[in-house]
Chains A and B, each alone.
Chain A
């Protein structure tokens, strides 16, 4: 396979090599991460300095209003920030870039089970992103009903004109199609193409996380796709599946049906994003603590339990939507049940570092910071998962802080960890460690100020999605803190330029990395850069688990690759 002559197009554009597709997803995800980040900066500018010209990008993006936001463009930017970050930044990074690049290499496969479908999946994803971006320039601008797009606001009855909502739904359906294709590919690859000796309980936890995440994708994305097709019909054909009340002209619609369908997908989506994070962090903590992942089997079982429960808790997003008491209580019980397996594997993270020999390389710093931010994100979930405290904190800035700790902080910190960690296998060079550490500390501190202070103002009563929060007297005293959040958000955004510089500089000028710069045990580190199309010259045979670090039976080094026999 590797000897075949390839043209530029088939090698870099329409490649079926999982590593190339992984890199394509990486650049695609990074582009949208920047786009979504820019939108966050614009939102924070509006909160801090309402209705003033946004520096640098203002005149370019909002020429009609002197470069300032208006309530309608604010809602558009808010909607696109959420949508882009979740579905076009974080999803392609985790379920696209890392899943593609890592799964075949770590299980010892030559490629994905369906390389052509893999390529097709990326280009459908790409198309969906183009449609979403272009919706900004269509009549009426982009969608403006929040990333949750609750009808009837997201239908013609909602009074938001233009094509934005329809294009939003269309691009999400396309994106969902790409994700389903990817997920089926990953599941098949993991089940069918594991190397000899790579049984399920020798798979790295990263693969476990991506495996479970793909299963959730394959089950739940079709549900939201169906819901979004109905929403699309409501928008373009005048049906009213999700419209009721005095404004409905056709009987039988139900806005709550959409909320159920949305969250039946939407809550597993949280775990779709967080399961790969758990896997990556578990593996990295083990590698850089030079110690096997503590309680590997228990961690795997806990991840499976969480995966199962994740489909049974969606109602906790709807506690204040007029839910029947019986349903409310059931959802609350199931939601809080998740803390049991979660706290057990969280303990295993600490167990991995306990009595280890911790190497504070850049990926390790990011991985350890996930223990911190996910701890806070998980614990603040208790407030949201309990009905009576949710009555007060629902739709508040406290909620915004909570899900940014779990989704933004945990997912991005682990994505950075993964990028610094696998960069040598992707590009043959290491990223600069000094720049990496500066990037880490500024990101970590700024991010915590931003999200913690969101919890603070939410606790004091501020609700969310406000064009100008000072319209309310009870929020006026909180405006100083809101401006501080903005300042630190700009620092957080600004320091990512350092990351980008490091990324592209190191790609060409970074220190050359050997085959195994981190002295890691998993299979991807047994092949030299550049890894050829087809990966392994001879199919690897796996002889031990993924975390053989500091095993006293292995002489001369503190690790053993999965292809090595551990002496008896």
Chain B
């Protein structure tokens, strides 16, 4: 439950709680400050309503004391809200969301959305993208192992899309002509929906993908199964509604990120 009447979706990631905590802090200060505003409004309406025998006090509120009070209140708002959430957000960005994990145990995935599906690509045995042994998942299917950091690089085939999984609390726009990056690490297994959250055409509302979170063993087994059909030469991109298909060799060299 929250002040908005409904709770967040389930959190299946190691980092989602950081975003939840920030949002809940803003919830708290919103309740306090908006509560003060509403209480003041109600009090003024009752106490200062126009009635016989009551008249307004001539006060322009331009005395030095009024000005200092107003500035102090502004600074109070700034320090208790803005400074805190800026600090939390900067910290989380620096430590987590813009600090892309490196190293051997990191799973790298390339995603190229098109109208209205998700193409997902794994590096294959050589660990390099845009090579012959890349593994391409069935359309709109993304499998990841639980407990492993996953770095996803995205670039769009046609228009702007946005990669969104509510349970991970992440949206990342996907722009044609450039590569954007996001990362996450899952704490639960199961099937979760991938949504496109940027209007991308008539099929936007059903541009749905499936994220399968599974154990490392199941994932390795699944990936090995995909290796064969992807290199068979069949055009598996033919069933999309946009009319033009993503070419089979759509991957790009992994982009180094600081």
- For B102-131 the 0/1 string (1 means CB < 8 A from A) is 000000000000010000000000000000
A256 and B38 within 8 A (CB): no
For the complex, give the distance between the alpha carbons of A395 and B205 in Å. 13
**Which of A150, A322, A333: most chain B CB closer than 10 A?**
A322
A518 to chain B, nearest CB (A): 13
- What are the residues of chain A within 8 A of B155 when measuring CB–CB? 245
Q: Is B158 an interface residue (CB 8 A)?
A: yes
For the complex, give the distance between the alpha carbons of A473 and B92 in Å. 30
A146 to chain B, nearest CB (A): 5
B55 and A550 within 8 A (CB): yes
- What are the residues of chain B within 8 A of A255 when measuring CB–CB? 160, 175-177
For the complex, give the distance between the alpha carbons of A336 and B80 in Å. 12
B56 and A386 within 8 A (CB): no
Segment of A178-186, A271-279, A289-297, A416-424 engaged in the interface with chain B: A289-297
Q: Is A382 an interface residue (CB 8 A)?
A: yes
- Partner of B26 from the list A146, A322, A386, A468 (CB cut-off 8 Å) is A386
Segment of A152-160, A439-447, A489-497 engaged in the interface with chain B: A152-160
- Partner of A549 from the list B56, B62, B173 (CB cut-off 8 Å) is B56
B206 to chain A, nearest CB (A): 5
Which residues of B84-116 are within 8 A (CB) of A? 85-86, 88-90, 92-93, 97-98, 115
For the complex, give the distance between the alpha carbons of A268 and B213 in Å. 43
- Contact A320 to B73, CB < 8 A, known contacts A245-B157, A350-B40, A355-B48: no
A153 and B44 within 8 A (CB): no
A297 and B37 within 8 A (CB): no
Q: Is B188 an interface residue (CB 8 A)?
A: no
Q: Is A8 an interface residue (CB 8 A)?
A: no
Number of interface residues of B (CB under 8 A): 96
- What are the residues of chain A within 8 A of B30 when measuring CB–CB? 379-380, 382
Shortest Cβ distance from A395 into B: residue: B197
Which residues of B121-173 are within 8 A (CB) of A? 155-160, 162, 164, 166-167, 169-173
- Contact A322 to B204, CB < 8 A, known contacts A368-B41, A375-B37, A460-B9: no
- Contact A347 to B160, CB < 8 A, known contacts A146-B199, A153-B201, A389-B23: no
- Footprint of A on B, CB under 8 Å? 2, 4-9, 18-19, 22-23, 26, 29-30, 33-34, 37-38, 40-41, 44-45, 48-50, 54-62, 66-67, 70-71, 73-75, 77-78, 81-82, 85-86, 88-90, 92-93, 97-98, 115, 155-160, 162, 164, 166-167, 169-173, 175-181, 193, 195, 197-206, 208, 242-244, 246-247, 250
13 contacts between A and B (CB under 8 A): A152-B158, A153-B201, A158-B158, A245-B155, A255-B160, A256-B178, A320-B162, A322-B180, A353-B48, A382-B81, A382-B82, A388-B97, A463-B195
- Footprint of B on A, CB under 8 Å? 71-72, 75, 78, 144-146, 150-153, 157-160, 243-248, 253-256, 289-298, 318, 320-322, 325, 328-329, 332-333, 336-337, 339-341, 343-344, 346-348, 350-360, 368, 371-372, 375-376, 379-380, 382-383, 386-389, 391-396, 452-453, 455-457, 459-461, 463-469, 471-474, 478, 547, 549-552, 558
Known contacts A358-B48, A391-B170, then 6 further A-B pairs from the complex at CB < 8 Å, ordered by chain A residue? A295-B62, A376-B34, A386-B22, A466-B205, A550-B56, A558-B56
